[in-house]
Amino acid sequence: MKADAISLGDLMLYYIELGCEYTMTFGDMWKQYYTTLETNFEKALKHISDHNLEEHFRPRIESMLNSTQCGWGFSDTLWDMYYDYYGCQE
């Protein structure tokens, strides 16, 4: 069985959301933890871009990024990746 592009994008973002929630609940984590989340976030953005789903996922991604204040530099890295794919919105 093959997941449709929206469902797969949803699952990929859910993984990042859970990782952020876990950090907010249990405190700061180790470097590899954040690196893994960053890598998977970039994979999610690429998948979303490859399937032209930016507008579908934009509100959810921005909401997640606005609520992510964990890990030194982590949220900045996620924002940078987001801007690379979506560009800066005025």
What's residue 67's pLDDT?
A: 85
Buried-exposed string 23-41: b where 16+ CB fall within 10 A, e elsewhere: beeeeebeeeebeebbeeb
> d(Cα 30, Cα 44) in Å, to the nearest integer?
22
Residues in the chain: 90
| pLDDT above 90 (res 80) | yes
Given a contact cutoff of 8 angstroms between Cβ atoms, the answer to whether 84 and 33 are in contact is no
Question: pLDDT tens-digit profile of 1-27?
Answer: 678 999 999 999 999 999 989 988 888
Domain boundaries, the chain: 5-86
pTM of this structure: 0.89
